[in-house]
Structure 1
């Protein structure tokens, strides 16, 4: 039970770090703490003289510590769990390794004056960590039996294409943001690519993703797919509609900070929703696990039952 709860918390805090990291970027606080790991030379923490930008950047760093603690606690819980399951340890380990990797990228980001390519990498690594965290959460609610498909092979391939299209959409969206006005600091460079062209490519990738999702919704209905598969597709559709509305509004209103931040949060939710569709295409069967206390009582009762004539 603790592994399941911590795995869910692992997902939540990694979504929240997207929000706090977005706040740093969108408020121009990327260099609010001009050094790393100290907030400023000679001082580990933020000082009032550094102003609001220093507090925003320092707050993001402190929340990164929270993410690291949750990742470590989740990994420890999977290791201490009895019976131990490698299928739970692996994703927890990936998250636990990904968090310090993010800290290292954060250091490089500061040292390079918010190089836009490094900043983009920072976000994409978070997407990878989110995938591991969500996989761990799903596996924590399943037995360790063999995975059995609940939909035909062509549909599972379509679901994989949906996930791939979601990833492409997110990557191109990161490039759009990296070439746009929100650099994290007024003096920081931008990705030297045509923002208008990237925005068009991003819109095209969104249309592709929505088309694949609509096709999957119709296919699921025709195949009478399990309810959880159809529900996952409708959730993904709702997220896509919300993201599309935010994306178009922010484009035609000059990229206001609030909407860009909501779009970044939406990207994380879109990724989770797409992964959820793929993971609902199979189920794992196995004997339910008996709690340790019940196993002990049953073991103690066996000799008594054998002695009874």
Structure 2
């Protein structure tokens, strides 16, 4: 792959005054740094979200978006460390959102100059104005003001994304991924609010984690596409290898889904006063392990095949082998030691990193057409 051709130039015409001087006009170091920061933040928030749940701090802030009915921040004398942990995760959500916004603005400016950036800013300002108006009206009518305001803001972002993508003609892949991350982060804030309001409904909490994991994969894919040569792509591996790789993805997805259900039925409910009902965690732990072992076998087969045949994904397959084997080891160890919170938290983060690595592997199944 020609790195300079793929990442540092975007052939297009620009008119004088079409750029904002402080924003980059090519895919260079600044955009890559912010993209890496966005990826790291998405991984980190899984860790902080896990800490909220595993320390029983899920209701450390009893309200949303406020922490208490009277305060945005926790009152340590009343809520103690649980309030601080929960509020810390909320602050991290803000950091993730700001980084996603920075990546989006940089990407839009690289693609088309200030035109799309300014349109996105106008949509944002309009959404904020509409959100404030809805909040005031809902408060006066006794309706759920914060929820309605959040819905309006999310709708404004969705409309802005559609408008932006309709006008994007170059590197639309980067624009789509950047918008998906920003929309996903905003949606996550809403889902997190409903999780608190519903007293940590296990399905909402599980969905919250799953979406966070998917956002890690999307930010990883964005990093790959930054360095990829645009244009048509053709298969770089035999058909059987590609089919097996996608079947491996099914095994990975099943492992993660059953892992989420297992955690949701286990002892770490997020609050000492909340007891899980329904699924038997001991049975689910075995069900979770079955696709996990299948996944490990498939990954080993793919890794050996990739190295023997010298296929493009071979180096990332090695990384995936290490990630899955460590993940299996941590899973077995936590099951045999009574699910200590630290190991459960590591297991959650490793699942996201494994999924991100698999995402990179899939991108290596094709190569740019000559």
Query: Which of 340, 356, 367 is 1:256 aligned to?
Result: 340
Q: Which residue of 2 aligns with 1:146?
A: 232
Q: Is the contact between residue 217 and residue 352 of structure 2 (CA under 8 Å) also seen in structure 1?
A: no
- Structure 1 residues 191 and 269, CA, compared in 2 at 3 Å: closer, same or farther? farther
* Cα distance in structure 2, aligned partners of 1:103 and 1:89: 22
Query: Which of 38, 57, 60 is 2:89 aligned to?
Result: 60
Q: Which residue of 2 aligns with 1:40?
A: 68
Q: Which residue of 1 aligns with 2:214?
A: 128
Q: Deviations over 1:219-246 (max 9, x none)?
A: 22343313xx111111111111111111
* Cα distance in structure 2, aligned partners of 1:148 and 1:197: 44
SS of structure 1 residue aligned to 2:362: helix
Within the alignment, does 1:190 sit opposite 2:276 as a pair?
yes
What are the residue-to-residue correspondences of 1:169-180 with 2, within 5 Å?
Answer: 169-180=255-266
> Structure 1 stretch 176-185 or stretch 209-218: which is displaced more?
209-218
What are the residue-to-residue correspondences of 1:237-248 with 2, within 5 Å?
Answer: 237-248=321-332
Q: Which residue of 2 aligns with 1:274?
A: 358
What are the residue-to-residue correspondences of 1:280-291 with 2, within 5 Å?
Answer: 280-284=364-368
* Cα distance in structure 1, aligned partners of 2:208 and 2:36: 22
> Structure 1 stretch 230-239 or stretch 59-68: which is displaced more?
230-239
Q: Deviations over 1:125-155 (max 9, x none)?
A: 1122222211111111112121232111221
Q: Is the contact between residue 165 and residue 205 of structure 1 (CA under 8 Å) also seen in structure 2?
A: yes
TM (normalized to structure 1)? 0.88
* Cα distance in structure 1, aligned partners of 2:275 and 2:191: 17
What are the residue-to-residue correspondences of 1:1-309 with 2, within 5 Å?
Answer: 1=28, 2-49=30-77, 50-82=79-111, 84-226=170-312, 229-284=313-368
- Structure 1 residues 109 and 82, CA, compared in 2 at 3 Å: closer, same or farther? closer
> Structure 1 stretch 212-221 or stretch 269-278: which is displaced more?
212-221
Q: Is the contact between residue 307 and residue 314 of structure 2 (CA under 8 Å) also seen in structure 1?
A: yes
Q: How well do the aligned residues superpose, as a CA RMSD in angstroms?
A: 1.4
How many residue pairs match? The answer is 284
* Cα distance in structure 2, aligned partners of 1:25 and 1:46: 17
- Structure 1 residues 116 and 163, CA, compared in 2 at 3 Å: closer, same or farther? same
* Cα distance in structure 1, aligned partners of 2:111 and 2:206: 40
- Structure 1: which 5+ residue stretches go unaligned? 287-309
- Which stretches of structure 1, 4 residues or longer, exceed 3 Å deviation after superposition? none
Offset of residue 254 of structure 1: 0.5
Q: Is the contact between residue 31 and residue 103 of structure 2 (CA under 8 Å) also seen in structure 1?
A: yes
Q: Is the contact between residue 233 and residue 368 of structure 2 (CA under 8 Å) also seen in structure 1?
A: yes
* Cα distance in structure 1, aligned partners of 2:310 and 2:351: 29
